[in-house]
Amino acid sequence: MPTRLRDEIKQTRPFTSLEQEALLSIERTAAVLGHSMAEALKGYGITPTQYNALRILRGAGEGGLCRNEVRERLVARVPDVTRLLDRLEEMGLVARERDTSDRRLVTTRITRDGLKLLARLDEPVAEAHQRQLGHMDERSLRALIDLLAEARGGG
């Protein structure tokens, strides 16, 4: 049986509204699942945000993406995508190339090492997802996906 948020955070007073309880429950769930994913990636030397950026660039293919396109596709907003890409480049996981006709345009592509790392991570990440949400049946997962999409569309 699922635990109640009030019990998990040892809150003795009722929430001020259902909206407050729902929002705090979403935040708590995101924190618990995010921590679990960070732990799964830690042994590979990357963060969940770096992993997300690498997956985005793998999906973009050989054409790569500019910084703003990567920023728009990230699951979690980060204040400095340039610094994120700098770190990935220092690690040899991405390469950036300035456009010859428009020097302002810089295209980022995933490197072979980046692709190799993602290939090594595919199975452990899938296993982590299974550990995190595998206890839920398909109907529950689809309902959760729909409810979260509805919540994101509200504000």
Which three-class secondary structure state does DSSP give residue 107?
Answer: strand
Which three-class secondary structure state does DSSP give residue 96?
Answer: strand
pLDDT digit string (tens) for 76-129?
989 899 999 999 999 999 999 987 787 778 999 999 999 999 999 999 999 999
Q: Indicate the CATH number of 45-133 among 1.10.10.10, 1.10.274.30, 1.10.238.10, 1.10.1660.10.
A: 1.10.10.10
pLDDT digit string (tens) for 55-69?
999 999 999 999 999
Give the distance, in angstroms, between the CA of residue 112 and the centroid of all CA atoms in the same chain: 22
CB 59, CB 155: distance < 8 Å: no
Q: Which segments of 17-111 does DSSP mark as H helices, in order?
A: 18-42, 48-60, 67-73, 81-90
CB 47, CB 38: distance < 8 Å: yes
- What are the extents of the domains in the chain? 45-133
